[in-house]
Structure 1
Amino acid sequence: MRARTLLATAAAITCITGLAACTSTTDGIGVAASSGAPGSTSPSSSAAAVNTAQLDTGTYPTSPSAPFGFATAPDPEIVGAEGQRLAEFVTIPSEIDPEMTEIGLPTGVVFGTGSLKSVFASQAIADAAGVKGLVTGFFTSAGQPKKKISDKTRSLTQLVLRYNSPAAANAAAIAMNRASITTPAPGGDTFAPTTIRDLPGTLVSRASGRSPEMRSFTAHNSYVISTGVVVPPGQENAMESIIRTAVAQQVPLIDRFPATPIVPGVKSRIKLDQNNILIYAIPETEGQMLGGLTRGVYGPRGMSSLYGPSVFKALQDNGSEHNAVWHSTVSRASTDDGADAIEKKLVDADVANGYTRSDSPKGLPTATCLTEDTATGQENNCYVTVGRYVGSTYDRDMSKARQMISAQYLILTKADQTAN
């Protein structure tokens, strides 16, 4: 399952209106416009092949959005911004188990206990997570690829919750584990307490139904690390090993997180558009977001929730430290060649997942579009590279995907190619 096709209702975040900019044409042939950003340069990648007079951009904006400001406590938007930053310090499933490459849901930023019901399929555990002092969190999921829908495979959800003190984190871990054991979800299996050798500080429970499952809760400083594993019958011994690896990898990673102070009485703020890239994504106006991720800026690990581990490595290798997610996604590599490499990896990943190439939008032969017919309908992705930037669009309707990527191209011609 491709997470880009898994649509989830976005959190209540106000969209920003567009910032006016312009493009010039000569006899209908696109001429790259200079960006309004100081020190910007014009992209040159195949611009001469684009015929802007033929581009169909529908009703989508063709100029960057207005600059975003800061989220300031106690504005709830600061929770989303901090959760996006935290995503880069949450271990992705394929780092824990290399076979966990099929991305899926649940994934996203924790805005409160309501975000956690999908993680545990249990309101009791979600409520226990919010006993006191919950700030934010991030969770991501993946599993082994399936050849058939009926195949039983391993799956994993990794969650990190941030609290305002070690005491609050410890209390939450205890409460969540207690709820896991004492309050089965409606129609769910009953979990029993257990332990894992060499993890005395980790609280663990397991269920032995048709799909054996294990949950763990580890309080570490001001964080709770939770790993949920589901395996086919006969692979129960793998669960302990997976959780042991998850804790071993997650602890040193979360220790590196430069947390923003978000406590009562302390003034704090977070820049909503890290490295000024979200302004180049197409705004969402219909309340839908990609793959469960809320509007914002994510590092390579956060983006792996949309694109999987192969693209995660491509983003890392090519310097795309900040990536915008809105109605489209935008990545910025350190070089033009790096952007080309990221686009190639995105296209290759789609082809490997069964997509076939489709026609490029009229007037935009530099864009690549792919399509796949699935049991739930057609899925369509389009990509375009302009200098150091890679834009990506998705829609069930190929005509809309083409319109969006045409609009995305025009936005990226106005992007700052010298930005860091």
Structure 2
Amino acid sequence: MRRSLRTLAAGLVVLSVGAAGCGSDSPQPARVVDISQLDVGSYSTTPREIGKPGFDRARLSEGQRLASFVPLPMDVDPRFTVQSGAGTHNTVGFIETLYAMEFSADSFRAIAPGFITGVYSLGYSDSDTLIATTLTNTVLLFADQQAATLAAAGLAQAVATKKELNEPVGIGKHPDAQAFWKPGTQELYTFQASGQYVIYTETRDRAKIQLETTDLPAMIALTEKSLDTVGTRLREFRPTPPDKLTDVPLDHDGMLGRSLTRPKEDDWSNPPGLFDRNGALHLINDPVREKKLFEEAGVDWLANSAGYLYRARNQRGAQLIRDSHGALSKIYRRVDSPKYLPDARCREFRAKNSLILRFHCVASYERYTAEVWSDQLIDVHQRISAQYALLAKAK
């Protein structure tokens, strides 16, 4: 049971210690940590109430909720086991299409009025993205079916013109889909209106691009399979009426309120938000492994802000996530944990990749696990310390 800070003498809280045994139902022994001694830098450690959202923030939250109903690339085809070729944070829910379609916001608004929110999903067939086949699905939600139908036609033509795709392609069981390619290339771009949605699918085979060979039937088959899978899953989602969006709470059980507030310098990464277990898997590099871990640990929610905050079934589940995500490998070496928080698992990334932050720490508190990244060791220490202290203070 969670103990309020007021019940702890001199600001002392209990931190789980030791690796959680996979075959044990009991958490490991605990040691006492004085959170008043933690170096939290300028980060706030006060839990906050998340107020009523403005319209654009509510649109973004709707997109993050929609992510739970967009299949993972591996759910379309099991070969797509890698979701992020580089970097720790994927853009998932969005309210502009700069990332997904390379349009400016003004250009997109002119082509697609009535747009509410979108979800971006990307999968690779190989960790070496230079030779991988890729599957990208972007789901765009519009105010009504008419807006989606008009947007699908306008966006298809705009993308075909922008990318110099000069040959239409038929997509099997989806005669309403508008697909284009440039003969001699191994890339296919498809738009389909489906109710209030526009499904934008890209398939690309980088190995064939390198070898200068093509297989259009294979691209069509994958696109058809993807449209089938995405369309079926979307039927389970119930969009919020536009005039009711700001009435939908942003937080759930205080998850965002107890997550570390993101500093301004983190604005480049995935927008802050809340995801259930299905939606959270879109943010993960290795969805096959993490899906199994989430099931074993009982993860039900993930808050994304200045890092990731997972809620597990219980303390043991939180420890499973901590130990799994803090494990060492050929490209990660152990570095010191923060002073007064010795059971945080901290690592340094040792490979050359400018898109991956150098330092990473993970720690668990009761049924929560916090995970943070930074290019500076002192900052990653302050982040994990502040997030831990914040969890300890939350009711």
TM range (shorter): 0.7 to 0.9
Per the alignment, do residues 31 and 119 of structure 1 end up closer, same or farther by CA in structure 2, a change over 3 Å counting?
closer
Per the alignment, do residues 130 and 278 of structure 1 end up closer, same or farther by CA in structure 2, a change over 3 Å counting?
farther
Is 1:67 equivalent to 2:42 in the alignment? no
Q: Which residue of 2 aligns with 1:383?
A: 362
Is 1:79 equivalent to 2:63 in the alignment? no
Per the alignment, do residues 353 and 99 of structure 1 end up closer, same or farther by CA in structure 2, a change over 3 Å counting?
farther
**Which amino acid is 1:303 matched to?**
A
Question: d(CA) in 2 for partners of 1:98 and 1:362?
Answer: 43
User: Which secondary structure does the structure 2 equivalent of 1:227 belong to?
Assistant: strand
Q: Which residue of 2 aligns with 1:295?
A: 272
Shift of 1:396: 0.8
Does the 8 Å contact 1:94/1:100 carry over to 2? yes
Q: TM-score, normalised by structure 1?
A: 0.78
Gaps of 5+ in 2: 16-26
Shift of 1:180: 2.4
Shift of 1:176: 1.5
Q: TM-score, normalised by structure 2?
A: 0.82
TM alignment of 1:110-259, pairs within 5 A = 110-111=94-95, 115-122=96-103, 127=108, 130-147=111-128, 151-181=130-160, 183-185=161-163, 189-208=164-183, 212-232=186-206, 233=208, 234=213, 236=215, 237-259=217-239
Shift of 1:305: 3.5
Question: d(CA) in 2 for partners of 1:119 and 1:378?
Answer: 23
Per the alignment, do residues 378 and 287 of structure 1 end up closer, same or farther by CA in structure 2, a change over 3 Å counting?
closer
Q: How many positions carry a matched residue from both structures?
A: 367
Farther-moved stretch of structure 1 (274-283 vs 306-315): 306-315
Question: d(CA) in 2 for partners of 1:346 and 1:242?
Answer: 32
Per the alignment, do residues 353 and 98 of structure 1 end up closer, same or farther by CA in structure 2, a change over 3 Å counting?
farther
TM alignment of 1:100-111, pairs within 5 A = 100-104=80-84, 107-111=91-95
CA offset digits 1:142-167 (Å, max 9, x no partner): 323344x7x32212221111111112
Shift of 1:194: 0.5
Per the alignment, do residues 337 and 289 of structure 1 end up closer, same or farther by CA in structure 2, a change over 3 Å counting?
farther
Question: d(CA) in 2 for partners of 1:124 and 1:254?
Answer: 25
CA offset digits 1:332-366 (Å, max 9, x no partner): 11222222223334335xx4683222222222122
Does the 8 Å contact 1:107/1:141 carry over to 2? no
**Which amino acid is 2:368 matched to?**
Y
Is 1:413 equivalent to 2:388 in the alignment? no
Is 1:284 equivalent to 2:268 in the alignment? no
User: Which secondary structure does the structure 2 equivalent of 1:91 belong to?
Assistant: coil
Q: Which residue of 2 aligns with 1:57?
A: 40
Does the 8 Å contact 2:262/2:306 carry over to 1? yes
Does the 8 Å contact 2:345/2:362 carry over to 1? yes
Question: d(CA) in 2 for partners of 1:403 and 1:247?
Answer: 44
Match of 2:75 among 95, 108, 116: 95
Does the 8 Å contact 2:298/2:313 carry over to 1? yes
Question: d(CA) in 1 for partners of 2:245 and 2:326?
Answer: 44
Per the alignment, do residues 46 and 405 of structure 1 end up closer, same or farther by CA in structure 2, a change over 3 Å counting?
farther
**Which amino acid is 2:97 matched to?**
L
Q: Which residue of 2 aligns with 1:12?
A: none
Match of 1:363 among 311, 319, 340: 340
How large is the RMSD of aligned CA atoms in angstroms? 3.0
- Could you say which structure has the higher helix fraction? 2
Runs of 4+ residues over 6 Å off in structure 1: 20-23
Shift of 1:121: 3.1
Per the alignment, do residues 332 and 146 of structure 1 end up closer, same or farther by CA in structure 2, a change over 3 Å counting?
closer
Question: d(CA) in 2 for partners of 1:125 and 1:248?
Answer: 31
User: Which secondary structure does the structure 2 equivalent of 1:344 belong to?
Assistant: helix
Per the alignment, do residues 52 and 269 of structure 1 end up closer, same or farther by CA in structure 2, a change over 3 Å counting?
closer
Does the 8 Å contact 2:300/2:313 carry over to 1? no
Shift of 1:239: 1.8
Q: Which residue of 2 aligns with 1:7?
A: none
**Which amino acid is 1:60 matched to?**
Y
Per the alignment, do residues 196 and 124 of structure 1 end up closer, same or farther by CA in structure 2, a change over 3 Å counting?
farther
Does the 8 Å contact 1:49/1:366 carry over to 2? no
Is 1:327 equivalent to 2:306 in the alignment? yes
Shift of 1:132: 2.5
Farther-moved stretch of structure 1 (302-311 vs 122-131): 122-131
% same residue: 25
Gaps of 5+ in 1: 1-19, 34-43
Question: d(CA) in 1 for partners of 2:276 and 2:245?
Answer: 25
Q: Which residue of 2 aligns with 1:48?
A: 31
